[in-house]
Amino acid sequence: MRPEACRVRIDLSYDGGGFSGWARQPAQRTVQQVLEDALTRVLDRAGPVQLTVAGRTDAGVHARGQVAHADLPAMAWLEAAPALLRRLAGLLPPDVRVRRVAPAPDGFDARFSAVSRRYSYRVCDDVTGPDPLRRHDTLWYRHGVDVGAINEAAGLLLGEHDFAAFCRRREGATTVRELLSLSWARPEPTVAEATVVADAFCHSMVRALVGALLKVGEGARPPSWPAQVLTGRVRDPAVPVVPPHGLCLEEVRYPPPGQLAQRALATRRVRPAVAERAPGEPPPG
């Protein structure tokens, strides 16, 4: 980053239903394109604004706690800062809201400094379907969901593993991830909601995990099945990838300011292969 530049952290939320995901794509409406264009217009002396995001959500996926950063000319930032939120609120469409913009601490990188991302996935298993007011963020699952069986299966997936069986592979990208937490609860009698926390996620990983666990929840598969799929390290056609509209990025967590640069450096390193061990088994030592 140039000495005369200022890195700012941007906290935002969006309804993903009208977007082709976060990342810019030709002739597609994306969150990145909409937000970068609005920022560029507000900071008209700064030139095109380029954003780095904590998690590149797929088409149709929502975010309540997304984080991005941008490197802006210091003078343009100082001039725009007092009215920036108000002006963005007037320029942005109603399905994107910027909640906070502030100078980032030294060493902050929205993507590489993050220690974890937390997603939720919302499912309604009522025979009549979801509340009409929640139909855009809730999957209607036409089978009963046994949350106890799902949580038994979910516990076997925790830890650091190669999640290739639940990811779409990308050339040169690792599929090793550390699944920190995966649990289901019923916030409402007819709604089952997953909470998933990991250091990072591969493409479609959460939706594939949810799909496998729902098979357990309906009784079609035993609780041991998702862990068996995981050890195979190849995509299993029996694992459904659930629709995106039930998924929401809830939170991105970062270490204390003094540890941001160190965390970013560690994240950039290629993850070593995980030693062969059964899912749910603690690492050696």
Say whether both 144 and 24 belong to one domain: no
For residue 241, is pLDDT > 80? yes
Q: How far is the C-alpha of 148 from the C-alpha of 221, rounded, in Å?
A: 14
Greater confidence, 285 or 192?
Answer: 192
CA 91 to chain CA centroid, Å, is: 25
- The answer on pLDDT for 285 being more than 70 is no
Q: Is 122 helix (H, G, I), strand (E, B) or coil?
A: strand
Range of the domain at 226: 116-256
What's residue 213's pLDDT?
A: 98
- Tell me the sheet residues that pair with 6: 72
- Residue 59 one-letter amino acid: A
What pLDDT was estimated at residue 190?
A: 97
Whether residue 272 is predicted with pLDDT greater than 70 in this model: the reply is: no
Q: Return mean pLDDT, the chain.
A: 92
The answer to whether 116 touches 199, Cβ cutoff 8 Å, is: yes
Q: Are residues 43 and 127 in the same domain?
A: no
Stretch 153-178: mean pLDDT, rounded? 90
Residue 70 domain-assigned (yes or no): yes
Is residue 278 scored above 50 in pLDDT?
Answer: no
Instruction: Find the catalytic residue in 11, 15, 44, 58.
Output: 58
The pLDDT of residue 2: 58
The per-residue pLDDT for 274 is 46
Q: In the listed set 78, 103, 128, which residue is the last one of a domain according to the structure?
A: 103
Residues 73 and 142 in one domain: no
Cα(46)–Cα(149) distance, rounded to whole angstroms?
A: 54
Q: Average pLDDT for residues 18-33, to the nearest whole number?
A: 97
Q: Are residues 160 and 72 in the same domain?
A: no
Do the beta carbons of residue 101 and residue 8 sit within 8 Å?
yes
123 Cβ contact partners less than 8 Å away, ≥ 6 residues apart: 138, 139, 141, 145, 191, 192, 193, 194, 210, 214, 246
How many separate domains does the chain show?
2
**pLDDT at residue 236, as a whole number:** 87
* One domain for residues 138 and 90: no
Could you read off the pLDDT of 75-87 as tens digits, one per residue?
999 999 999 999 9
Q: State residue 268's pLDDT score.
A: 84
Residue 108 resides in a domain: no
Q: Residue 270's pLDDT is what?
A: 52
Distance CA 193, CA 210 (A): 10
73, 103, 133 — which closes off a domain? 103
Residues 132, 197 share a domain: yes
pLDDT level of residue 280 (50, 70, 90 thresholds): very low
Asked if residue 234 has pLDDT above 70, the reply is: yes
* Contact criterion met (CB below 8 Å) for 254 and 116: no
CATH code where residue 67 lies = 3.30.70.580
Give dist(CA 261, CA 109) in Å, integer. 8
User: Quick check: helix, strand or coil at residue 95?
Assistant: coil
131 labelled catalytic: no
Do 187 and 93 fall within a single domain? no
Kindly tell me if the per-residue pLDDT of 271 is higher than 60.
no
pLDDT of residue 106: 96
Do 134 and 80 share a structural domain? no
| Residue 74 shares a structural domain with residue 121 | no
For the chain, report the end-to-end CA distance as a whole number of angstroms: 41
